[in-house]
Amino acid sequence: MSINLVEAIQKELGYAPLQKINPNETHSSIAFTDQSVRLAQAAIPATLAGLYKLSRTPEGCEKILSGNFYSDKVNKTFGAEAEEMVLHIATFASVSKEKAHTTCEAIAACGIKIMQHNLKPLPSVNNVRDFFTAQRNNILPYLVPELKTGNVIHDNTIDDSTNKMKGPVSNFMHMIERFFSDSDESITPKK
């Protein structure tokens, strides 16, 4: 699977290409002038970070796989932090909370549709977890630091700039990280 979920959603929903954010910046230095560009830049990676975080537990993967995930996706993705995350996105993009919420709903639906299309016909909990693990390094470079997404979803690795860096050494370190993450956190129940 060599799909980049951020780019696939951006294209599917008709947004302009997102811009990677310098991992050393505490504020995005890219000038976003158009509200729809700002909204996509904030909402796509933040919503995918929420789905990534949700996929870290078997219960979260089951939620993503369940048919009832299709209603109220934002609250199911972000849980108790949904309102705060939507408010951060709305503020950054200078749009209403309703517009930010609707956009995040569409992004979550599109992300899950793309995931299902790229997984075998009856994906397992482990397939969902592996899919979002593989997408993590595609998501992080696009996260807008002003949103403080990791803080909101209670995952301090999301906002850590070292996780967003690219290059031969960083990519090698991320590969090692994924290897140990996969071997230490198997979500297959032990018998």
- Compute the chain's Rg from CA coordinates: 16
Q: Taking a C-beta distance cutoff of 8 angstroms, is the pair 61, 180 a contact?
A: no
| Distance in angstroms (rounded) separating the CA atoms of residues 140 and 157 | 10
What are the extents of the domains in the chain?
5-184
User: For each successive 10 residues of the chain (191 residues), what is the average pLDDT?
Assistant: 90 94 70 83 96 95 82 90 96 95 96 91 91 94 91 84 48 50 45 38
The number of CA neighbours under 13 Å toward the Cβ of 149 is 30
